[in-house]
Structure 1
Amino acid sequence: MHRRQGLRLLAASSAATFLLTACGSPEVSVTKAEKAANPLCAKVAQHWPQKVAGQEQRDVSTSGGTEAAWGDPAIIARCGVTSPGADEHCVDANGVDWVYSELSDGAGFVTFGREPAIQVLVPSDYAGDAIGAFAAAAKQIPQGNRKCS
């Protein structure tokens, strides 16, 4: 898959998940990722942060814990997505490589070089270092040979 195509798919996936989020609702509606049943995602779920960008964790519509949300508008995390190809939008945050894409209402991040991957959607309200809070969860999935350059 070409880099730009991968980013378009990431952006489309991210936008779809953002659209499923109900602002102000007590429960955040999140779509379960395709590979969420992977046993590594269960390990990730045990390490979701308690707070992200100062925001408390919220209930999500799915069961199993491989999806989580914080704040309103919600920061959303899902384990079990496919790791994207490398491109110029690959960054390191607290020892974890992420590929990011800008969205109309924030940014999407997917771990790079880890399978299954973790996706985090961060609304523009939380610009800054929200992604760093996910390092402990992401490190539950071993880093493969692919790394940001």
Structure 2
Amino acid sequence: MRRRQALRAGTPAVLLALAAGLVAACSSAVQVTPAARADTAACAKVARHWPQRVGHLERTKTTSDSPTVAAWGDPAVIARCGVTSPGPTTEQCITVNGVDWVAHRLSDGVRFVSFGRDPAVEVLVPHDYAPEPLLLPAFAQAAKQVPQGQRHCTASG
């Protein structure tokens, strides 16, 4: 009889622990919306080449079921395919592993968009991983699935 009472007394605690675990698991998915042109054949190719790891960061779940978005770590590095390719710009343009990227500083990190490729790949890197461009090599294989157009980074951006 004592054993049953112990199990009954422990049951609410076990249920509470399970519920807390489920809430934590649900809230750990990174909120991401697919880009406007995510449904292109080029983005389907990109999605097959997302890296498993970005630096030391493991891939994590997103709220989207689209393979054209992906996330790694906490805070999350987020990648999406299907954003609008940038036109001529005065923002910083860098080349990393054969891929040109336009960098735009945000209040909480840097937004990189592949340059000269349409549709473009977007990578959002939080300040926690500064210097942010050091994570871009992980995305070269994916970004190269979209052919390079005529636009390239130049010395002036």
**TM range, smaller chain:** 0.7 to 0.9
Q: Secondary structure at the match of 1:130?
A: helix
Q: TM-score, normalised by structure 1?
A: 0.81
Structure 2 partner of 1:73: 75
Identity over the aligned pairs, expressed in percent? 57
Structure 1 unmatched runs, 5+: 1-23
The alignment yields a C-alpha RMSD, in angstroms, of: 1.2
1:59 maps to 2:44: no
Q: Please give the alpha-carbon distance, in whole angstroms, between the structure 1 residues aligned to 2:109 and 2:66.
A: 26
Structure 1 partner of 2:141: 136
Structure 1 partner of 2:13: none
- Please state how far the C-alpha of 1:131 moved relative to its aligned partner: 1.3
Aligned-partner residue type, residue 33 of structure 2: T
Structure 2 partner of 1:38: 40
Relative contact order, higher structure (CA 8 A, sep 6+): 1
Q: Please give the alpha-carbon distance, in whole angstroms, between the structure 2 residues aligned to 1:35 and 1:109.
A: 17
Structure 1 partner of 2:98: 95
Equivalent residues, number: 126
Q: 1:29 aligns with which of 4, 28, 31?
A: 31
- Please state how far the C-alpha of 1:85 moved relative to its aligned partner: 1.6
Q: 1:124 aligns with which of 122, 127, 150?
A: 127
Q: Please tell me whether Structure 1 or Structure 2 has the larger radius of gyration of its CA atoms.
A: 2
Q: TM-score, normalised by structure 2?
A: 0.77
The answer (yes or no) to whether the contact 2:115–2:152 under 8 Å persists in 1 is: yes
Return structure 1 stretches of 4+ with deviation > 6 angstroms: none
Structure 1 partner of 2:107: 104
Give the structure with the higher percent helix: 2
